[in-house]
Structure 1
Amino acid sequence: MSMDPALTTTSYAILGLLSVRPWSTYELAQQMDRSLGRIWPRAQSKLYEEPKKLVRLGLAEATKGAVGRRPRTVYTITAEGRRALADWLPRPSAGPVLESEQLLKVFFADSGTSADTLATLHAARAWAEERNQGNVAAGQAYLAGQGPFQDRAAQTALVGRFLTDYYRLVATWAEWATAVVQQWPDDPADAAPDPSQIAETLRRANWSGGAARGPARAGRRLEARSP
């Protein structure tokens, strides 16, 4: 099946959840918030529309029911939906998109005070710690054989490792940046760049090898000339 122009990455995310088991609309929204929300956050209003679209396209079926007096619709993936999901998986994908209000504030730190930036960095570290608590709890549950959808632990562990390393990166960066900003004057606009820090960033950028070797050598030369 060729990709229908009406299908988006969110459509395939919902299809992926339906491939695990049938869900009501409310359960889908909960599951997106609990798990996929960390890697594909979307507004709840969007999540309530996607299953209906999948039904229109023949990729899912809707069954009407009720919980007490409340109406309830449960969605189930169809054979065509499973084929669409399988066809989507090997296609080239876009890379991650970074969106961080905290980084934006650090980028424009020279319009405020160093104390403002330190507060932002403290919040970044706290955010990483809070997010990582969920990772710790999930890892403990899977090790005990009691994780949600334990039969999918092999796939979940790959994403869990990425998120764990990402939160650790944010925390480590926030600690390093805090130590740097603590040496700044009260007005960040008066802060002087440290050539050794720039050289170290260039050295780290060389992790991928060949393409970055030139800048890395330039960084070492910069470091050698620095006082």
Structure 2
Amino acid sequence: MSSLRLTGTSYAVLGLLAVRPWSTYELTRQMDRSLGRMWPRAQSRLYDEPKKLVTLGLATGENEVVGRRPRTVYSITDAGRDALAEWLRKPGDGPVLEFEQLVQLSFAENGTRDDALRIVAAARTWAEQRNVENLAAAREYAAGQGPFQRRAAQGMLAGAFFTEFYAMVAEWADWASEQVQDWPEDPAEAVADPAELARIAERADWLRESD
């Protein structure tokens, strides 16, 4: 069995199976709840992954009936745990940003100042809305009442990342709104503030300063 045949989604499903057995439906819901923010994948793909893991000997599937509905419950095998451990020995790729509103602002000179302000406001609203669920989960775990509380140390790492990420987007949106408000009605005539450009360059030098 070659690990090259597995994808990041395969390993994510293996990780969930290492927590406990799940049906395909439960896996899909749990993937969305716990990993959806960092690894969004179409549900159709998630329904195929457990079957592939069984074929590779990394999981087993047991058929059962709940009420009148049949379902298959998947469990990780020893080989699956070995594959998961091997995956964890090699750091994966960094994040890939996909931010349509930022792309729109990159071509703001083709619209109006009000268009740009609406785009920035929408970005802040996105951060606020995403943080609602994030805040509820953070408070739940802080109170010792989160799902799979025994795994709070692992979940805390991602929780901290998204907390800082949403805050960063909101703070950036506040700053961007201030900048755009000073633009002329026609963004094509906007001029960058030299002091802000210098501040951005200074901030971008954080890596060298931290060494």
Report the TM-score when normalising by structure 1: 0.90
Counterpart for residue 146 of structure 2:
147
Query: What secondary structure is seen at the aligned counterpart in 2 of 1:66?
Result: strand
Contact 1:106/1:117 (<8 A) preserved:
yes
Counterpart for residue 64 of structure 1:
63
1:170-209 to 2 correspondences below 5 Å:
170-209=169-208
Change in Cα spacing, 1:68 to 1:86, as seen in structure 2 (3 Å) is: same
1-structure distance, mates of 2:184, 2:32: 42
1-structure distance, mates of 2:139, 2:16: 23
Counterpart for residue 102 of structure 1:
101
Contact 1:65/1:73 (<8 A) preserved:
yes
CA offsets, 1:172-214, max 9 Å, x none?
Answer: 00000001001111111110111111101001111111699xx
Counterpart for residue 53 of structure 1:
52
Give, in angstroms, the shift of residue 71 of structure 1. 1.7
User: Gapped runs of 5+ residues in structure 2?
Assistant: none
2-structure distance, mates of 1:95, 1:150: 27
The ranges of structure 1 where at least 4 consecutive aligned residues each deviate by more than 4 angstroms after the TM superposition are: none
1:54-93 to 2 correspondences below 5 Å:
54-93=53-92
Alignment root-mean-square deviation, CA: 1.5
CA offsets, 1:2-31, max 9 Å, x none?
Answer: 752220011000000000001110111101
- Counterpart residue type for residue 145 of structure 1: G
Which one is further off, 134-143 or 174-183? 134-143
1-structure distance, mates of 2:179, 2:121: 13
2-structure distance, mates of 1:114, 1:169: 23
Counterpart for residue 15 of structure 1:
14
2-structure distance, mates of 1:102, 1:31: 29
1-structure distance, mates of 2:30, 2:188: 45
User: Gapped runs of 5+ residues in structure 1?
Assistant: 213-227
Give, in angstroms, the shift of residue 67 of structure 1. 2.0
- Counterpart residue type for residue 139 of structure 2: Q
Counterpart for residue 224 of structure 1:
none
Contact 2:113/2:184 (<8 A) preserved:
yes
Contact 1:3/1:84 (<8 A) preserved:
no
Query: What secondary structure is seen at the aligned counterpart in 1 of 2:152?
Result: helix
CA offsets, 1:39-81, max 9 Å, x none?
Answer: 0000111111111100000000001112222221111000000
Contact 2:113/2:186 (<8 A) preserved:
yes
Counterpart for residue 155 of structure 2:
156
Report the TM-score when normalising by structure 2: 0.96
CA offsets, 1:102-126, max 9 Å, x none?
Answer: 1111111111111111111111101
> Equivalent pairs: percent with the same residue?
60
2-structure distance, mates of 1:23, 1:95: 28
Change in Cα spacing, 1:202 to 1:3, as seen in structure 2 (3 Å) is: farther
1-structure distance, mates of 2:91, 2:37: 21
Contact 1:3/1:88 (<8 A) preserved:
no
Counterpart for residue 122 of structure 1:
121
